[in-house]
Amino acid sequence: MAFIQVCNLPDHPIHAGCTAVCAVIVGGTLTVANAGDSRVVLCRQHGVTEAMSFDHKPMSEIEMKRITEAGGFVNQFGRVNGNLNLSRSIGDLKYKKVPNIAPADQMITAQPDIKSVTLNEKDEFIILACDVSVCLSFPFHSIVPMET
């Protein structure tokens, strides 16, 4: 007989949630913050790409550790408490109500990962994407003149 886990968290009046990603260029530095499964990719010279973010999925070791330490579980389909297929988001408040646990340590957290890189004059553009759809693509030279 198989043991089936079910989510027994009380509902919250707000059921919605979303992922978030942003990119800021200050001087010659690109800084990216990501919470969820949105992505940023930097395109350098000759089509060389550099991932500036990674998906926050419940099956990853660090995410699963936080989820289980907050009293949640990840089922065989990679879903938090059998529902959400990501482990960081804004909203999804039902998963953020465990008493005496900091917001960054809740089952689902909005705490972003942050990555910075130094840009050079041959970098071409960045892509910001969510849900596998491209949201925005910016050629660097149309945004900020590169210092020479």
Alpha-carbon distance 12 to 9, whole Å? 9
Q: Are residues 60 and 129 in the same domain?
A: no
- What is the model's pTM? 0.78
- How far is the C-alpha of 10 from the C-alpha of 14, rounded, in Å? 12
Whether residue 143 has pLDDT greater than 60: no
Residue-wise DSSP of 74-131: B-TTS-BTTTBS-SB-EE-GGGS--TT--GGGSSSB-PPEEEEEE--TT--EEEEEET
**Please, what is the Cα angle at 123 between 120 and 127, to 5 degrees?**
130
* Pair 81, 123 in one domain: no
User: CA–CA separation, 94 vs 142, rounded Å?
Assistant: 42
Q: Which residues contact 147 (CB under 8 A, 6 or more apart)?
A: 28, 121
pLDDT band with cut points at 50, 70 and 90 for residue 110: very high
Long-range contacts of 47-51 (CB under 8 A, 24+ apart): 50/117
pLDDT band at 15 (very low <50, low <70, confident <90, very high): low
> Quick one: 70 and 44 in the same domain?
no
Do 73 and 100 belong together in one domain? yes
59 and 100 within one domain: yes
Number of domains in the chain: 2
Residues 90 and 60 in one domain: yes
- The residue count of the chain comes to 148
